Amino acid sequence: MDTTGPVERVLRGIAISLVILFFMFPIFWILLMSFQTNETILRVPPSMVFEPTLQNYRALITGRLETQTSTLEIRFMSNLYNSFFLSATSVAVGLLLGVPAAYAFARLKFRGSEDIAFTLLSFRFAPPLLVLLPLTIYFQQLGLSNTYGGLIWVYQLIVLPLILWIVRGYFEDIPADVEYAYRIAGHDFWATFWKVSLPLAMPGIAAAGLLAFIFAWNNFIFALVLASADKQPVTVGALAFVTASGIQYGQIAAGIVLSITPTFLLAILAQRYLVEGLSLGAVKG
């Protein structure tokens, strides 16, 4: 594997540059846009030369958007908070429910285990729109509409299958010997689970949690239909810059940058786990 010739190294270099260009250029462009006014963004032809301005970020953070005619109140920061709160809580709940279940499916083969596992995954198969309308009606009757609780429950449909699937694979690949040895030493099941199995599976759990967080963060349709204005996440909130009197591209760009930042920081923090954690067979080595 280490015997790479110079030609191959050059080819690899070109390939990786192209990949970075394709995936990072739009991000770079968005970043540039976030420091421009609408007028410079809409120039023909587009240009990279402009006088940077912080007005987009200022508008988002202070919550006041000065347009030509009036001052608009924007709730972007509270949208950002909602996104964070909804995603983090949903993932926490998802982990709490999903990790023990994943362990059960991986370790304790029991009657109906595959059926239950498949059923859990299959909740992901239902198109979101299918359940959405009846759900609004039931939420109304149950008093769940417009509550964080109701949303977090619905978000389980997004996060739980993903967590289950990844963490289960991870547990399956941790050799059972370690746990067995600990148990022989006289510890009961819960102690073993808590002290041995969980720490061993930590990278997998972290990685699954992060991916689930991203998918929860990016969700659009559930929150749109089920939550009122004060509970909306950024995916809906950012559309507020598409106004009848014009699209505020600069603010949308700044909004995207701000909405990527928390997840990106999280990814950097979890960097070590992220790749290793998804390596189902990491321990097998």
Minimum CB separation of residue 8 from other proteins in Å reads 10
C-beta separation of 122 from 272 below 8 A: no
- The CA dihedral of 277, 127, 86, 255, to the nearest 10 degrees, is 90
Bond prior to 45 in cis (omega within 30° of 0): yes
If one asks whether residue 242 binds other proteins (CB under 8 A), the answer comes out as yes
The residues in 149-188 that bind other proteins, with binding defined as CB under 8 A, are: 153, 156-157, 160, 162, 164-166, 169, 172, 188
Within a 10 A sphere around the Cβ of 247, how many other Cβ atoms? 14
Contact pick of 136, 147, 178, 200 for other proteins (by CB under 8 A): 136
Q: Extract the tokens encoding 48.
A: 């990279």
C-beta separation of 109 from 175 below 8 A: no
**Which CB atom, from 181 or from 275, has the smaller least distance to other proteins?**
275
Determine the interface stretch with other proteins among 49-57, 84-92, 194-202, 249-257 (rule: CB under 8 A).
249-257
Minimum CB separation of residue 273 from other proteins in Å reads 10
Rounded to a whole number of angstroms, the distance between the first and last alpha carbons of the chain is: 17
Determine the interface stretch with other proteins among 56-64, 84-92, 105-113, 194-202 (rule: CB under 8 A).
105-113
Minimum CB separation of residue 238 from other proteins in Å reads 6
Contact pick of 104, 178, 198, 200 for other proteins (by CB under 8 A): 104
If one asks whether residue 253 binds other proteins (CB under 8 A), the answer comes out as yes
Residue-wise burial string across 116-146, b where 16 or more C-beta atoms lie within 10 A, e elsewhere? ebeebeeeeeeebeeeeeebeeebeeeebbe
The residues in 77-96 that bind other proteins, with binding defined as CB under 8 A, are: none
If one asks whether residue 127 binds other proteins (CB under 8 A), the answer comes out as yes
